[in-house]
Structure 1
Amino acid sequence: MKRGTMIGGTYQVLEPLGKGGQSEVWLVLHKRICSLLALKRIPLRARWPRGELDYARHLDHPGLPRIYDVFEAEGYICIVMEYLEGKTLEQLKQEKGSFSEKELLLWLRQLSEILEYLHSRTPPLIHGDIKPSNLMIGPGGRLVLLDFGACLSLGKEKRERYGTKVFAAPEQLDEKLELDIRSDFYSAGKTFRFLSGGKESPGFRRFLDICMQEDRSRRFSDDRKLQRRLLRVCRKGKRNCLLFSFLAVFLLFFGSIIHIRRQNRTAEEQYQILMESSQTEELVSAIRLFPDREAAYQKLLQIDLLDQVFTREESRKLEEILGSWGEKLEKEAYGDLAYELGIAYWYYFQQAEGKNYAGVWFERALEGGLTPERQKKAKIYRELGSYCEKKTRQELSGEGALNWKGFFEAICACCVENSQESVPALLRERLQEELLSLCYDGLLYFRDNGITETELQELVEELKNMAPGKQAEAFSVTEESVQALYAGHTFTEEGGRKDEK
């Protein structure tokens, strides 16, 4: 496989992690959740144990990597599993040459716990390929059993065996014989005899000899008996074992810190790469990585508004994201984002209910830590949006009373607060058009609720100054309508006038 190619429609190949026999392991990136995983690829065979692999996906033990996916692609079976940083016992032996018996006993006890978990499943699951290259020491110093490519459920029909010959039990090499949990005991004994180099204490030697009996009836019959005998071996060196236990705890703690730092560094690198993108899914992945950072949310909103339209689909997607991860943001960051979302609904939303939605988000913005200037504007927008919603409801159903004087004051305040040069010209032009329309529609109500002609004329003049030269015809009609209204005339929707009776 080549770096950057996609496999299974979801996983992007990054780099090789290892190779052995006919299999190969690659580091891959899950594109949807932006997570690093390990993918093992093995040539597809007619009687591959797919059922056992699917069964293994449900295992949950700290000594086993999680299996997330199993699928076939390009003549291979692919097993996607948790990516763990660490070294196998085969690699460590090549580097160190030998291990102390205390180290070996600690790892063997951990392996026995893992095997007990596998063998206690219903039906029991036989690993089938225990060997040094399948035993990893993870970041916390914990032994992890890798590779379920040869696993087999106890009692299943005979099938081709995939274990490694050097470490496989005699019955595993004879297709006429059934396997059972004692086959794993043999491979474990053979593995630790290899790791010890044949230099064991008498008790440890006898333990491994029992595991490796050719006649499996002479091996340990179950996991509990194996563990009890192993515990007696460890107790003979109780003081040293205790000292090594303290060391193991220290390594676990220290290794965990290193692992967390590495994970954080990797996540930060992924985040920076994703933030360079202008694709929605990439930015959503950045939010998943660090939901407490405001930048990805803001960039996503900016991209949605590049065409100066905020669609229903875009708004729904952004609200879902905020519903899932927005609570991770700090109060001030959430307030700023809610304010920007309110502006998006107010000016750019395609449907008429945009101002109603805007009012909701301005309300949420006020609960955050806005600057005094934004807080003042958010209150004005909220009030004006509330009046617009009440006005629409009254026109449609005739229900509810509207405070027209308060409505007029909200229009005036919104006009004053958005007349500054600091407000983008496009927003001033759009707001000018909207406020002038609201003003014109409410002229009769304003007059009947005590608003003077002078006050109305001053508002119209303020609106003119928001975006000079714009809406000239509409302003002319509005000014004539104000004069006619206060001269004892009413006016039609077309701007003409007629005498009041």
Structure 2
Amino acid sequence: MSCSPGTVLGGTYRILDVLGRGGSAAVYLARHERTGRLWAVKEIPEKRNSLVMEAELLKKLSHPGLPSIGDILKEKGMFYLVMDYIEGRSLSRLLKEEGAQPQEKVADWGRQLCEVLEYLHTRTPPVIYRDMKPSNVMLKEDGAVVLVDFGTARERKEEGNEDTVCLGTRGYAAPEQYGGRGQTGPETDIYGLGAVMYHLLTGRSPAEPPYGCRPVRDFRPDLSGGLEKILLICTKNDPKERYGSCRELAFALERYRELDDAEIKRRNRRLRSFAGICMLTAATGLGSLFLHRAECRAISGTYKAYLEEAAGSVEKERKLDFCRKAVDLEPGRAEAYLLLVQTFLEDDGKFTDEEERLLRGILDKKNQGGKSNREQLGRNKGEQVRAAYEIGQAYFYYYEGSGGKGASAIWLSLAAGAEPGKELPEKAVTRAGCLSRIAGYYDKLSIQRKTGDMEISYAEYWEDLTALMEGGMEEDNRVTALIMYREIISQIIFHAGTFRQAGVGMEEMRGQLEQIRKKLTGWDGGRETDYVRTLMEEAEEGLITAETAVEAAFQTIPDSQEVRKTDKRLRRGYEDGTGTAEDYGVP
């Protein structure tokens, strides 16, 4: 043992005890000399660089079920990784002290570990843990579990065909972890988790003869047959025959009793009895009523399952597929439409032509009764306005093609008719009204450019634009707020002279620009996504041009013809230097 109690590492961490050791590594309990906080310190020889790799990997991760990194030290030919000290006991110690565990607890721990693994598997690139075993899982006093020891974890390389080394623990390691059997992936960790749950349920280690996992009811006939089926799927030799994701496994663990043979037979008996009752009571109409209620419960449960599958899917096409299925099942409910719009925007913040065609196709699809999904949605105003608000905003803010503002006006006008506080929040109803009127101005501006006639009130246009600044958009969605700021900035650039003619003062325009500047200054761009930072940079550049436009508009007293000329020159100059008017949402 390299460190004895009392040793101080890096002049900061005093070793108190040995928590465990294995192979060439050891883990110590240490106390920070200044703060008194307890830490776990992992020691490994310098010639093995796996500790550095482990530290680099953990620094990228943040999840309640994972330890965080405090420090990394190098002393006397050893690396020391300072991590959160997890108070509790490992599952291996639990097994030694108590033996096999109740199935309810095992299913709960399994679900928690699924959440941690799903988090790892959905990183970019995915992180494969590869060493799932009871000694690597800590059980805290509150029942929460934490996954420790990332010495064998790796980031999956999509171009790789197989792993270069064989790592893992015999009995818990999946077949593909042994050389020449392909690359490890999420299914590898699912196998390991299945082996851990097998050990917890039976008290028998799959790492000891006869090795591997057998049906758990061979040892404990009292266990759920559904849980046994789940573990047999987890530990299939062929990765393709296991669960496709940890989210899918978690879904099964939540409902393991529904997979029991006795439960399946009981449901079948109830169904047959129910059908008989319906036949006997058909004359009175009770059978029809019971059937309708049962059907509604079944449809509602399936609808919810579709939404859960969509929300939990990583692949966009899979998400969209489950959203379509949910809409087809219950076209009059809003949730599937909301998730559909969210899926369109989540990758790149754009609502593309292809996605818009898909949305229209879903809305216009007719059901067996000859009614379209759009018509079915319209039969329930409360659901319709919820969907209309999100669809309208998608068209207004994010649609790339032509006609987006016109389409948004239709949807947003529906949302603006919602009952405030009941069907939609009051703020949302107000915002929908402003956006629908602004969208309407675009059509009138188009007519004005063609005919030369003044078709809109720029005073009212200004009021609606500035009303959006009072709606607290940044509290709901920072991207939406930035796109709306860009909208206000561009309209000041292109219509400053016209706004002046309509009675809008210089200080009013400057005040709006200053308000936007303060919002931008208060945000930390370093903590935002690349897309948000790009929008922030565009807004900051636009503010400079907008301030110039305001000053130019108030240098002289323009007549209406000069106003149009000034606006046109500013429009052309802004477009030449920064992009097309369409890029900035200008009609």
Asked whether the two chains share a fold, i.e. TM above 0.5, the reply is: no
Question: TM range, normalised to the smaller chain?
Answer: 0.3 to 0.5
Structure of greater Rg: 1
TM-score if structure 1 supplies the norm length?
0.44
Q: TM-score, normalised by structure 2?
A: 0.38
